Structure 1
Amino acid sequence: MPLFCLLLGVAFGFILSRSGAADYNYIQGMFLFEEFQLYGIIGTAVAITAPGLWLLKRYGRTLTGRPLVIERKAGHRGNLYGGILFGIGWSITGMCPGPVLVNVGEGKLYALAAFAGVLVGAGAFGALYPRLVRPFRLPPLAVGTGEG
Structure 2
Amino acid sequence: MKVIEKKAEGFVCDAPNTQASGEKGLALVKYLILGILFGIVFVKAEIISWFRIQEMFRLTSFHMYGVIGSAIVTGIISIQLIKRLGIKSISGEKINIPTKEFRKGQIYGGFIFGLGWALTGACPGPLFAQIGSGFTIIIITLLSAIAGTWVYGRFADKLPN
TM range (shorter): 0.7 to 0.9
- Paired residues for 1:26-105 under 5 Å: 26-64=52-90, 65-105=92-132
* The structure with more strand, counted as a fraction of residues: 2
Does residue 120 (structure 1) correspond to residue 135 (structure 2)? The answer is: no
Write the letter of the residue equivalent to 2:145.
V
Tell me the TM-score normalized by structure 1: 0.81
Contact 1:60/1:69 (<8 A) preserved? no
- The CA distance in 2 between the partners of 1:114 and 1:68, in whole Å, is 33
For each residue in 1:5-64, what CA deviation from the matched residue of structure 2 results, as whole angstroms up to 9, or x when unmatched?
111111111111111101100000011111211122222323433333221111123254
- The CA distance in 2 between the partners of 1:63 and 1:124, in whole Å, is 33
- The CA distance in 1 between the partners of 2:120 and 2:73, in whole Å, is 27
Contact 1:104/1:112 (<8 A) preserved? yes
- The CA distance in 2 between the partners of 1:98 and 1:120, in whole Å, is 16
* The structure with more helix, counted as a fraction of residues: 1
Shift of 1:127: 1.8
- Quickly say closer, same or farther: Cα 1:129–1:60, change in 2 above 3 A: same
Does residue 20 (structure 1) correspond to residue 18 (structure 2)? The answer is: no
* Unpaired runs of at least 5, structure 1: 138-148
Contact 1:24/1:94 (<8 A) preserved? yes
Q: Name the stretch that deviates more: 75-84 or 45-54.
A: 45-54
From 31, 51, 55, the counterpart of 1:5:
31
The percentage of counterpart residues that share the same residue type is 31
- The CA distance in 2 between the partners of 1:48 and 1:73, in whole Å, is 19
For each residue in 1:89-116, what CA deviation from the matched residue of structure 2 results, as whole angstroms up to 9, or x when unmatched?
1111111112111111111132122112
* Unpaired runs of at least 5, structure 2: 1-26
How many pairs does the alignment contain? 134
